Structure 1
Amino acid sequence: MIHPSEFGALRAFAAVAEQRSFSRAAQQLGVSASALSQIVRGLEERLSIRLLNRTTRSVSLTEAGSVLLAEITPAIASLSGALDHARNAGNRPAGTVRLHCFHAAADSFVVPVLPALARDYPEILLDLTLDDTVVDIVAGGYDAGIRIGEVIERDMVAIRLGGEIRQLAVASPAYLAEHGTPGIPKDLLDHRCIRWRWPGHESTYAWEFFEDGHWFSVGVDGPLITSSRAVMLEAALAGVGIAFLKEESVAGAFADGRLIPLLAEWSVPFPGYYLCYPQQRQMAPALRAVVDAITASSETR
């Protein structure tokens, strides 16, 4: 059986590995950076293997450290969840809820409920990670996530939030004046397009359109690839090229003429964001409170 001190050492190592910093991990755990360094070094000595590469400016995982982190992350999450369940005895909403959320979804569904959560459940700590990377909710140690429907694991409970999403090709008047206006989706192959890439993916996103009851994609090309929707929007406004963005994010630019919608007849709405969490026999009261707050707020949108 693992000694209690070893669990603390493994948790300390996981925190440093996640933060890639002893100082940030120490702040998260509520200990000093020097004490945290000694804990991790002691773990390395007991295992007789180096887990972290340290320099004065950075911390990175060794191969052995990467293997160990992958093995212990689900276990740490499970034990942390068990402790939270114990704290929540008597159905009192308390403890930490770890939520992984796409950036745009946070603005729409999480930020609006923060004041009510803080007021009604002062003993709940919401640990919110904003990241457009598609991660494994369970393996990542998260209690729940908010993401679009097409990237939800099959074994997750998924609750639809808000309405549908529509993506549109958009460009500035200056760009269209210089390069012309595409009449059909395949015309995009002759244009300078601002491409988007899922964080953590090598390939770029192919723009999706709808015709005669079927979706089809166009693999565009252009001078810029980014994983930031905000950068795409700014580049389109500056005339760098044509971007493919959510309609609601460019509504203001349409209204004042800074951007022009393109190929609208080929762009139809699709199901948007979902709040998802693992199937479980008994949901912790703290997680239930957060789920109920987010879903109730989304119904008013």
Structure 2
Amino acid sequence: MSVIYSRAPLRISLGGGGTDLPSYYREHGGYLISGSIDKYVYMLTHTVFQKRYRLKYSEMEEVDETNDIIHPIFREALKRHWEGSPLEIAVVADVPAGTGMGSSGAFTVCLIKALSLARRRSITAGDLAERACEIEIDILNEPVGKQDQYVSAHGGICAYTFQTDGTVDVEPLNLDDRTLRRLRNNLLLFYTGEARSASKILAHQVEKSAANDDDMLENLHRTKEMGYRSRELLEAGDLEAYGELMHEHWENKRRRSPGMTDEHIDRLYTLARRSGCLGGKLVGAGGGGFLLVYAQRPDDTRQAMAAAGATELPFDFEFRGAIGNESL
């Protein structure tokens, strides 16, 4: 097979997000709930008849050697996980980068999955996630956590425990069918119309955590508690209480870092609450991207947000994680 297809899902954080950064979990341990959704990063990898590396993403590169590749994830992944002749790789995604749903982590997972298939080597979801984390966190020194890579590799709605030694425990949530249907119906995603750099926002958290800043650590401890509580409420099917906890999460996250929100996002959130939403949060680091809300009257919220110019992104949860040709 000369053309390899791979895809990796994006995600929405459901509680505890931010405690997956090494600057926090290496000292205190992290915990969060997150779900993969049916929005993806896709790649087509052509393995034969290529004289040069040809990479097509938001830009296009054509080079002779991997060291000459500008895109840092492409460069480092190919240097470490590919030993064959040059490749042509084309990338597309369902949502723009910088919108808070883990696109960078999904991109890295999708690429390593493709390279494993091209080398005819199997790879577990755990190894796939760890190799992606190694590139982004250890090699490129990006101030990001492990959530995006793990959720994209595993899929489903899971609890992730980040141990102080760097290992990660993955536990699928025990959700009954009625709870899952209500989550699908009442959780809504709206685009704020703004993309942002997660690295800039997360760098502030990393700096404060590394300096043992009392306010930052107290905020993250509270965030982790909300992760545990989110699991309890979701597994109990108490979605009204979960929606209210989302509002607490919003208020706590607003206090964490400058630039997490702005007047436009605050207006959208207030509008969503007035339309019957119990709570909501910006998915990802904040500063823009997508607003996730728990709506008691979904149609009323859709109408209010549409009038404000906030486009809905319909979604469902997905349970396969990163896949390629062998899984189709």
* Class of the TM-score when normalised by the shorter of the 2 chains: under 0.3
Q: TM-score, normalised by structure 2?
A: 0.22
Structure showing greater radius of gyration is 1
- TM superposition score normalised by structure 1: 0.23
- Greater RCO, 1 or 2 (C-alpha within 8 Å, sep 6+): 2
